[in-house]
Amino acid sequence: MEKSAELLKKLSKAFGPSGYENEVIDIIEEELEGVCETRRLKSGSLLAIKNGDGRGKLMVSTHIDEVGLVISKVKNGYGRLVPIGGIDPKVLPSQVVKIKTRDGFQRGVVGMLAPHLQKGEKQDVDFNSLFVDLSCAPAAQVGDMAVVDTVAECIGDEHFHGKALDDRASVVALILALKELSRFKTHADFYALFSSREEVGMVGAMTGTFEVKPDLGIAVDVTFGDNDSPHAPKIEINKGPAISIGAATHKNSYDLAIKVAKQYDIPYQIEPSPGRTGTDADAVQLAYRGVPVLLFSIPEFYMHTPVEVVSLNDVKWTARLLSAFATEWGGINAH
């Protein structure tokens, strides 16, 4: 658990908004050295390959990018910000941001007027009312990318908080799965796609699927662990990964995933997905000549904020589900 937490801390702290994921890829490559073959794709994704017994190509896709910001205007030492992906502007005031400038990383502050000086009615925060103070980032200019600079650490024995756990928690699970596969004598040919630019259109998943041409795709992402919908089972943190069932997911493979979870004593939850999932699964199933897909999701609190929270147990159980599924899946004849 301690090693998983340290890896998740490194990945959470890494700078990797959509299209700028190289720092994340460097960490993954270092972690997988000697474990399996890796290669960088033109789309900005990383592909890791763990050869198996030739029964078929199983591709697991998890995205490496994070939501971020880009400086769109600079005037008198202050910058305007626009979002990369889905950021609620209400989480940004009073945050420090890490800016990738031509002179290296510099910091800015998204400030708020002190309560004592505020006058009139308080208005909703939006990107039209936000500025970043660049007095400590003189090299910052229009087009520079930024992410919130925040702490990443364990909370208690099981929980972990930080930025970009969507989807770096899944990245850790996929790395652990690749390492676990070394303990099995036989398994499917396992292609781990660490996909780029999911937050702006699932670009890496789509192009990576054409590269691999898999027989089955599994997307691994996070899901809302704090959403108690009246129309669906409550997904809870620290209760195992959520296995999706719905229009997008392949029924026979879903049944096998449930069987494997029970067989290997892996806690799991069931999440209905009636249509689009908002994950790499949406792109994978439309790529190549059409690929059947599954979706495994790690429950998370406070998605797309600087304080996302996951359970390290859920990360571990997701890794076990992936590696066990790869040993039990029947390959090209499983459909």
For residues 326 and 180, give the distance between their C-alpha atoms in angstroms, rounded to a whole number.
11
Which SS3 state, helix, strand or coil, does residue 67 take?
A: coil
Q: Give Cα separations from 60 to 102, 258, 325 (angstroms).
A: 35, 17, 11
Residue for token pair 């790690």:
298
* Strand (E) or helix (H) holding 60: strand 57-63
For residues 130 and 33, give the distance between their C-alpha atoms in angstroms, rounded to a whole number.
43
Q: Give Cα separations from 193 to 5, 35, 54, 105, 188 (angstroms).
A: 22, 15, 18, 28, 15
**Cα angle: 174, vertex 260, 204; to 5 degrees:** 30
Which positions are catalytic? Answer: 198
For residues 103 and 92, give the distance between their C-alpha atoms in angstroms, rounded to a whole number.
24
